[in-house]
Amino acid sequence: MKQKEFTSRLIHVVGEEGVILNPAEQEFYVNDWLGKAHGRTVAVVRPRNTAEVSAVMRLCHQSQTPVVPQGGNTGMSGGATPDMSGAQVVLSLNRMKRIHEVDPVNNTLTADAGVILAEIQQAARAVDRYFPLSLGAEGSCTIGGNLATNAGGTGVLRYGNTRDLTLGLEVVLPDGRIWNGLRGLRKDNTGYDLKDLFIGSEGSLGIITGVVLKLFAAPAGRVSAWVGAKELTSVVTLLNRLQAACGPRLSAFEMMSESSLALVTRHLDGHFSPLNQAYPYYALIELADTNLNGLQEMLQEALTSAIDDGLIDDCVVAMNEAQSVSMWRLREGISMAQVKAGKAVKHDIALPISSLATFVKEADQIVMNGFPDLPIINFGHIGDGNLHYNVLVPLDISPSLYKETTAELNKRIHDLVTQFNGSISAEHGVGTLRRDELKRYKSSVEMDLMNAIKRAIDPNQIMNPGKLL
Ligand code: FAD
Ligand code: MLT
Ligand code: ZN
């Protein structure tokens, strides 16, 4: 099919306003926000509903046109960016924004894949319920993108990843057929769990068009605290103590190294620092409950006893929500501050929590021996074992030296991750960023199984080619 005929058939399906052909207007859709992934596209197509997605996919199936699904384009692994061929279609879900049903009795919310995460959280709050997925990009990422990457964020410690928050899915397959699995059931053992195949598949198997999410009882509020410590191992011990003392009330436990926090104060939020003195490590802790009685005292007591025992060095418990918000702004600012400070060679890794401190000691040694001038930016969701172990390189580094440094750092850090039985991709997805490394760290059996699933569902390989696999 000629390009002209293809684009006019696209317009026939979704209307003039649903197809972007002008390269200047395509700019947002063909580059990622980190400035690392760039591409070109034959057209950006923005369907309004599942039937239109299905018709677009039938057309792409017929014409063997590759498709790159895109949500909010906030991903970190280049998964939503087309390649440079100009032959791929970007299928954006950003006009599929309807919340279809919020059911406070079944504790479920049914929505289109293009709904922004913050709007889902808001819709849950409106019926006095809680949707716990929370991440720095929540004002612009979509629930479809969260599902496709199985996003994590700060609530995983208590509520799990996006996968754990999902009951049902609707997916348009590469040939245009619609699988309607929009069921709000907590038990359904009628064969393979198909939704789990599509969650975390990064657009490589089909277009997620709808979702049924789990809702939870709304916490009456939260209590946050900021802790300073000399050693990472003390921070991990504190995590275990709080888990024992506070049980499920412990809703977040984030770690930041001094250098990560310094980036935020230097580049974004120069005025606020919760403690009077600097420490090598900080933790941001949150307790939440449906009953706030005694929550602040519980946290204060646990932290005071940790100070008395010499485990941590200092702490401050937020006295009100405004202070909590200021603390969280520091934590959530690290991603953006990194972008301003340099080019980050990112390592989004998961480790057994018991190995975190030893891993960091060994990884720090590797970086300091091989790259003594490069600052280590180490922070993350250590309550669930997820570190963002990043290394900053200067903005003006030459492209060839950047490539060489990245390859060497990735190999050394990821080899160490594997020695500790960890994962080289915890929450950001594989995309193009980790695709080639995956073969080094996954067994041939795992790779064979993944390739077999890909061939079975997408035999013509039109779904997000070159990503993940
Ligand atoms: P996109 O970036 O558009 O796409 C991501 C991938 O999903 C691509 O492979 C794309 O092809 C595919 N995809 C998107 N929509 C669909 C669909 N409907 N059907 C099929 N495939 C689809 N991530 C975390 O996990 N935890 C964090 O703490 C976190 N913090 C962040 C902080 C900031 C400031 C930023 C900018 C990003 C952060 N991220 C984090 C990364 C990012 O926000 C998540 O990966 C998010 O889930 C991506 O959603 P999106 O809608 O932007 O997806
Ligand atoms: C975060 O947790 O802030 C992001 O996932 C990490 C990053 O930007 O590397
Ligand atoms: Zn993260």
Maximum CA pair distance of the chain?
74
372 CB burial (10 A radius; 0-12, 13-18, 19+):
exposed
Q: Is 136 in the pocket of ligand 2 (CB under 6 A)?
A: yes
What number of other Cβ atoms are within 10 A of residue 437's Cβ? 16
Residue 182 contacts residue 212 (beta carbons within 8 Å): yes
Residue 427 CA, chain-centre distance (Å), reads: 5
Residue 141 per-residue DSSP state = -
Q: Is 388 in the pocket of ligand 2 (CB under 6 A)?
A: yes
Residue 390 contacts residue 402 (beta carbons within 8 Å): no
Quick one: pLDDT at residue 342? 87
Which residues belong to CATH 3.30.465.10 in the chain? Answer: 99-217
Which residues belong to CATH 3.30.70.2740 in the chain? Answer: 342-444
Q: Which atom of ligand 2 is nearest to the CA of 338?
A: 8
Q: Which two tokens stand for residue 42?
A: 């034959």
- The pick from 335, 340, 434 for probing ligand 2's pocket by mutation, whose C-beta has the most ligand atoms within 8 angstroms, reads 335
The closest of 150, 181, 278, 167 to 213, measured between CA atoms, is 167
Quick one: pLDDT at residue 273? 83
Q: Which atom of ligand 1 is nearest to the CA of 202?
A: 9
Q: What is the C-alpha to C-alpha distance for residues 62 and 148, in angstroms, rounded to an integer? A: 24
Quick one: pLDDT at residue 268? 86
CA of 30 to the centre of ligand 3 (A): 24
CATH number of 3-92: 3.30.43.10
CA of 29 to the centre of ligand 2 (A): 21
ipTM: 0.99
Quick one: pLDDT at residue 1? 81
Residue 46 per-residue DSSP state = -
pLDDT in tens, 255-309: 999 999 999 998 886 767 899 999 999 999 999 999 999 999 999 999 999 999 9
The closest of 227, 338, 350, 205 to 279, measured between CA atoms, is 227
Q: Which atom of ligand 2 is nearest to the CA of 390?
A: 9
CA of 432 to the centre of ligand 1 (A): 14
CA of 114 to the centre of ligand 1 (A): 12
pLDDT in tens, 334-347: 999 999 998 899 99
CA of 102 to the centre of ligand 2 (A): 30
- Torsion, Cα 183 185 186 191, to 10 degrees, reads -60
Q: Which atom of ligand 1 is nearest to the CA of 148?
A: 7
Residue 364 per-residue DSSP state = H
Q: Which atom of ligand 2 is nearest to the CA of 427?
A: 5
pLDDT in tens, 59-109: 999 999 999 999 999 999 999 999 999 999 999 999 999 999 999 999 999
Q: What is the C-alpha to C-alpha distance for residues 125 and 210, in angstroms, rounded to an integer? A: 20
Which residues sit with their C-beta closer than 6 Å to ligand 1? 33, 68-76, 79-80, 93, 113, 135-137, 141-142, 144-146, 148-149, 151-153, 202-203, 207-208, 335-336, 427-429, 431, 464, 467
Query: What are the helix (H) ranges across 15-155?
Result: 23-30, 50-63, 117-126, 143-149
Q: What is the C-alpha to C-alpha distance for residues 108 and 98, in angstroms, rounded to an integer? A: 15
Which residues belong to CATH 3.30.70.2190 in the chain? Answer: 221-335
Which residues belong to CATH 3.30.43.10 in the chain? Answer: 3-92
CA of 8 to the centre of ligand 3 (A): 41
Spatial strand order of the sheet with 89-92 comes to 19-20, 43-45, 89-92, 67-70
CATH of 342-444, one of 3.10.105.10, 3.30.70.2740, 3.40.50.2000, 3.40.50.300: 3.30.70.2740
Q: Which atom of ligand 1 is nearest to the CA of 76?
A: 41
Report the mean per-residue pLDDT for the chain.
Answer: 97
DSSP annotation string for 180-226? EE----S---SSS-HHHHHTT-TTSS-EEEEEEEE-EEPPSEEEEEE
Residue nearest to atom 4 of ligand 2 (CA): 335
Residue 169 contacts residue 198 (beta carbons within 8 Å): yes
Residue nearest to atom 49 of ligand 1 (CA): 145
Q: Is 335 in the pocket of ligand 2 (CB under 6 A)?
A: yes
- The pick from 138, 331, 334, 378 for probing ligand 2's pocket by mutation, whose C-beta has the most ligand atoms within 8 angstroms, reads 334
Residue 414 contacts residue 441 (beta carbons within 8 Å): yes
SS3 of residue 20 by DSSP: strand
CA of 329 to the centre of ligand 2 (A): 13
What global pTM score does this model have?
0.97
Q: What is the C-alpha to C-alpha distance for residues 332 and 337, in angstroms, rounded to an integer? A: 9
> Phi first, then psi: what are they for 34, rounded to 5°?
-80, -10
Residue 417 contacts residue 426 (beta carbons within 8 Å): no
Residue nearest to atom 14 of ligand 1 (CA): 145
Report residue 430's pLDDT band, with 50, 70 and 90 as the boundaries.
very high
CA of 367 to the centre of ligand 1 (A): 28
CATH number of 99-217: 3.30.465.10
Q: Is 334 in the pocket of ligand 2 (CB under 6 A)?
A: yes
CA of 308 to the centre of ligand 1 (A): 42
The closest of 390, 447, 441 to 416, measured between CA atoms, is 441
Q: What is the C-alpha to C-alpha distance for residues 311 and 239, in angstroms, rounded to an integer? A: 11
pLDDT in tens, 160-206: 999 999 999 999 999 999 999 999 999 999 999 999 999 999 999 99
Q: Is 414 in the pocket of ligand 2 (CB under 6 A)?
A: no
The closest of 137, 89, 129 to 109, measured between CA atoms, is 129
Residues 6+ apart with CB under 8 A from 312: 227, 228, 229, 234, 235, 238, 303, 306
> Which top CATH class is 221-335?
alpha beta
